[in-house]
Chains A and B, each alone.
Chain A
Amino acid sequence: MGSLAATRELLSSGSLKARIALTSIIGAVSFAVVIALLVMGMGSTYWMAIAISVTTYATMGLGLNVVLGYAGLLDMGYAAFFAIGAYTSAILTVNLEWNYFLSIPIAVVVTGLAGIVIGYPTLRLRPDYLAIVTIGFGEVVRTAFNNWQYVGATRGLYPLPNPELFGFVFDDPQRQLILAAVLFGIVLAFVNRLGVSHIGRAWRAIRDDDFAAEVVGVPTLRLKIGAYVMGGAVGAIAGAIFASRSVAIDPTNFTLFVSVQVLMVVVLGGLGSVRGVLLASTVFVVLPEILREVQDYRTLIFSALVIAMVKFRPSGLIAERVSPDAVSLPSLEEAVAGRDPAPPPAAPPPTPGSGAEAAPRAAGDGALLELRGVSQRFGGLTALDDVSLAIRPGEVMGLIGPNGAGKTTLVNAITGVRKPSGGEIRLRGERITGRRPHRIAKAGVARTFQAIRLFPQLSAVDNVITGEYQAAHLGVVDALLRPRRERRHQAETVERALALLDQLGIADAALRKPSELSYADRRRIEIARALASEPSLLILDEPAAGMNPSEKRDLVATLRAIADQGIGILLIEHDMPLVTRISDRAAVLDRGRLIAFGDPHDVLRDERVIDAYLGKPHEGENGA
C-alpha cells in the first residue's frame, strides 16, 4: 500500500495544484475580459451589441464543444441547429404569437429531435462521414427555410417581438444583454457539469478510441447521439438568443460559413476546453472590431491561425483540463479526504468478483462460458471451424496455438466485435451471440487487447474508471441535476479504481497518462480497466508480451488472485512455461479448429499440438 499512499501524497503536493492554478488564472483572465466587455456594454449600445454577439458565439461554441471537443465528432453543419432553434422560436412568437420564453423549450426539443433524425443513421458510420453529412444537413435546413413560404422564404421572418416576461419587456440592448447573459449562464453550467461527469469521461474515451470504449462497456452509439443532440440543443438556445435581439431572421444568417466560424472558435480555444471557447469567441468577435484593418482579412487570419494551432499546439489556447485535473481530481481529493487519516468504517473497497455482486454470477450450473460449434468465415477463409469449449468460474483456461490459428478471432466472436457466422455463445446459460460489444461487457465479459488500447488523453485512473461505466447506473439527470450523488459516485469509483491499480502494483502511476508509462505498466492498466467492469469472465490477449521475468511472476500471482475470486480467465499466451504454470486447463487452436483440450502439460505433449507448432508452416491469417 506504500505506492497508494504515495499517490495520495502526490495529490496534496504543490505541482499539480500549481498547474491547475495556472490554467485557472488564464480562465479567470478570459472571464474578466468578457465581464469587462459586459460592463463597457452598459455604457454604449455599440459595445452592448458586440457583447451580445460574443455571448451568441460563445453559446454556439459551448454547444459545438460538446459534440466536437468532448466526443470528437466533427460536425460541420452546426449552424443547422442554430437555425432550427432561431426559426422555431421565431415561428412561435411571430406566426403563433407565443411568449418568447415559452418558445425556448420548444426550440430545444425540436432541435433535439432533428439531431436524433440526423445523428441516428450517421453516427454508426465512419466518423469522417459525419463531417459531410452534417455539411449536407446544414445546407438542407437552410434550403428548406429558403423555400418555405410559411417562414417567409428568402425574406425571412419579421418583425420579431421583444421578449417579455411578466410585463418586463426586453426592448433595449442592455436588457437583451442581460437576457443573453442569463441564457448563456445556464448553458455554461450545463456543459460544465456534463464535462466533469461520468458522461464527460466516457465521451473523451470515445474521442480517443471509440472501438476500445465500446468493448470496455461504454455504449458508444447512444453516447455519441447524446453528445450530438445535447450539443444541438445548446445551439437552439444560441438561436433563441439570436432571435431575442434581432428584428428579423432570414436564411442568410445560417450559412455554412457560420458553422465554420463556430468550428474555428472551438478549435482555437481548445477542444474540450470551456474556458478556451469563451476566450476564443471573445477574440473572434472583438478583435476585428478593435482592429478595423483586419476586418477584411478576418477569415484568412483565423483560418491560418487554426492551421497553425492544430499543427503546433493542438490543445488550443487554453488546453482542456482533462484528467487528472478536471475529471478525477475533485473526487479524488474527496476520496482521500474521506478516507484519511482514519480508515473507513465500512468494508474495504469492493474488488471485482468479490462480495455480493459476483457471488451469484459464480454460482451457475457449472459452465461460465460455453461455446457450441462457433464458426467464423471471411469469404472463402474459415477462421474458426466448429469450436466448442466451456470455461468454469474461477478457472484459468490457456488458449494457445500458432500465429494465425484464430485465437484473436475467437476472442472477437466472444466479445461481440464480430458476430460469428455460426454457433452459439452462452455466458452463465444466457445467450450472448451477436450482441453489441458493450452489452456483452455488461453481461460480464471483459478483455484486454493484443496491441494495447488505452485512452491516450486520459490518466491511468480515468482509464480504469471508464471500465466501470456500465456499473455506474447514473444517467444524464444525475450528471446535470444531482451533483452530490454524482460526486459521491465519482469518489467511490476513484477509490475503487485506485484499489485496482494498487492490486496490480501501479497505484503510483494513477495520474499519469499512458504515454508516460512503460509497456508492462500499460498492460497492467488495461487489466485493471477490464477488472473495473466487475466481470465474471476476463479475456487476456497476450498479457505477458513485453514483460520481463519478474514482471511475469507478478502477473501470474495477480491472475491467480483474480481467479481465486471466482472470475474465469481465458488467457491467450505464447509463453508456454507461463501457460502451464498458471492454467488449470488449456485449449489449442490450429487453423481455426480446436485440436487439443485438457490438462496443459498433457496438451503440450500431444502430437497434433507439436505438429501444429513445428510442422510445416502455413499462411497467417488476420489474427491481429
Chain B
Amino acid sequence: MDTFIQVLVSGLTVGSFYALVALGYTMVYGIIRLINFAHGDLVMVAAFIGWFVLDRTAVGDLPAVPQIAIAGTIAIGGAVLIALGLLRFVYRSLIDYPLGFMIVALSVAFCLQELVKLIFGASNRAYPAYGISTESIGFLGVTVNRMDLVVIALAAVLMIGMLWFVNRTRTGLAMRALAVDHDAARLMGIDVRALIAVAFGVGAALAAFTGVLSGVYYQRIGFEMGFMLGMKAFTAAVVGGIGNVGGAMVGGLLIGILEAAVQGYLSSTWSDAFIFGTLILVLYLRPRGLLGERVAEST
C-alpha cells in the first residue's frame, strides 16, 4: 500500500509535468495540425534561464518562494519571446509544408540543445537546494515528499485555469472551433495567425513554468532533459486525444502514473519502452485518443 501511494504521488507529479507540456503540443496541433518538436526543449531552455537567475544574481538574499517566483517569471518571459521569435522567423512560412515544418522543428530542438550546451556546458547544473524540495510529510498514512504535493497543486491550478481559458473565453472557443473543423472556423472569420501566436505563447509559458518547477523539484538540469520529456508529453497528448485540452491533462497524468508504476514495480530502464508501447497500442486501438472526438481526417 505504501508503495502504491508513493507510486501514485510520484506518478501524479511527473504526470503534472507531462500534462503542462502536453497542453502546448495539443493547442498548437489543434490549430495547425503540426508537431512542434522543439516544444520540449523550451522546457530545458527555461530551466536554464531560471537556474541562471537563481545562481548568478542578487535574488539570493530573498526567501525561497519569491526567489523562485522571480526566476520563474523571467524564464517564462524568455521562453515566450523565444517561441514567438521562432514562430515569426522560422515556422510561419512553413505551416503549409508539413514535412518541412516538422523537420525544421526537429532541427530547432537540436539547435536549442547545442546552444545551451555551448553557453552553459555539457554537464548537469544544480538548482539551489531549498528545504522545501526534500521535506517529507505524512500524507494518508505514508510519508511523501512535500514538493510532490506542491507540484501537483500548482499544476492543478494551472490546468483549471487552462480549462477556463479554452471553455470560457472567446479565444479559447475559437481554438476549439479550429480543432474541430478547421475550414469552417476559418470561414467564420477566426484569425488563425493570431491564434497560432496565442497557442505558441501560452504553450511556451506553460513549458517554462514546467522547466523551472522541475528544476526546483529534481534540483538537477541538463541540456538533454527537454527532448524526451517533450516526446512523452506529446504521447500524453495523443493518448488523451490530440487537440483536446482536457485530454492532454488526463493523458499527461496517465502517462506519469504509468511511468511511475513501471519504475516502481518493474524496472526503471523499461519505462520509456512502456510509454511508447502504450502510444502504439492506443493509436492502434483508439487512434482518436481517450477524449478525442474524431480522427480529423477525411478529404
Contact = CB atoms under 8 A, between A and B. Distances in A.
A147 B99 CA distance: 34
Interface string B264-299: 000101101101110110011001000000011111
A211 interface: yes
B104 A300 contact: no
Interface in B102-161: 102-104, 106-108, 110-111, 113-115, 118
Given A139-B272, A140-B276, A311 B98 contact: no
A109 interface: no
A74 B102 contact: yes
Contact of B284 (A121, A127, A147, A263): A121
Interface string A300-316: 10011011001100100
Given A121-B280, A307-B108, A211 B299 contact: yes
B169 interface: no
A383 to B, nearest CB: 13
A140 B276 CA distance: 7
B272 A128 contact: no
B60 interface: no
- Report the contact-size class of chain A (Cβ under 8 Å from the partner): 35 or more
Nearest to A624: B183
A412 B299 contact: yes
A135 interface: yes
Nearest to A132: B234
Nearest to B37: A131
B107 A125 contact: no
Interface in A106-140: 118, 121-122, 125-129, 131-133, 135-137, 139-140
A143 B104 contact: no
B283 A121 contact: yes
A146 to B, nearest CB: 6
Given A118-B280, A139-B273, A299-B114, A304 B107 contact: yes
B276 A139 contact: yes
Contact of A132 (B35, B118, B183, B273): B35
Which of B98, B106, B277, B279 has its CB near the most chain A CB atoms (within 10 A)?
Answer: B106
A417 B272 CA distance: 37
Contacts of A127: 98
A303 B102 contact: no
A129 B104 contact: no
A278 B279 CA distance: 35
A132 B284 contact: no
Given A74-B103, A300-B114, A129 B272 contact: no
Given A122-B280, A143-B272, A310-B94, A417 B299 contact: yes
B103 A263 contact: yes
A170 B58 CA distance: 64
A274 interface: no
Given A147-B267, A263-B103, A304-B107, A297 B114 contact: yes
B102 A128 contact: yes
A130 to B, nearest CB: 10
Nearest to A77: B276
A588 interface: no
Interface in B168-194: 183
B283 A125 contact: yes
B251 to A, nearest CB: 13
A76 B283 contact: no
Interface in A405-433: 412, 417-418
Contacts of B108: 303, 307
Nearest to B269: A147
Given A128-B98, A147-B270, A267 B103 contact: yes
Contact of A303 (B107, B267, B269, B296): B107
B267 to A, nearest CB: 7
A144 interface: yes
Contacts of B270: 143, 147
A133 B234 CA distance: 11
B273 A144 contact: yes
Which of B90, B94, B235, B276 has its CB near the most chain A CB atoms (within 10 A)?
Answer: B276
B107 A132 contact: no
A260 B228 CA distance: 14
B106 A76 contact: yes
Interface in A235-285: 256, 260, 263-264, 267, 271
A341 B284 CA distance: 57
Contacts of A299: 110, 113-114
A568 interface: no
A128 B35 contact: yes
A394 interface: no
A134 B156 CA distance: 32
Given A76-B106, A135-B231, A300-B111, A314 B284 contact: no
A143 B269 contact: yes
Contacts of B100: 310-311, 314
B33 interface: yes
A566 interface: no
Interface string B67-104: 00000000000000000000000100110011110111
Contacts of A263: 103, 106
A137 B283 CA distance: 13
Nearest to A133: B280
29 contacts: A74-B102, A74-B103, A122-B280, A122-B284, A125-B283, A126-B33, A127-B98, A128-B33, A128-B34, A129-B283, A131-B37, A132-B231, A133-B276, A136-B231, A136-B276, A136-B277, A136-B280, A144-B273, A147-B269, A256-B227, A267-B103, A299-B110, A300-B114, A303-B111, A310-B104, A311-B93, A417-B298, A418-B298, A624-B183
Given A132-B35, A136-B231, A299-B110, 4 more contacts: A136-B279, A143-B269, A144-B273, A624-B183
Interface of A: 72, 74, 76, 118, 121-122, 125-129, 131-133, 135-137, 139-140, 143-144, 146-147, 211, 256, 260, 263-264, 267, 271, 297, 299-300, 303-304, 306-307, 310-311, 314, 412, 417-418, 624
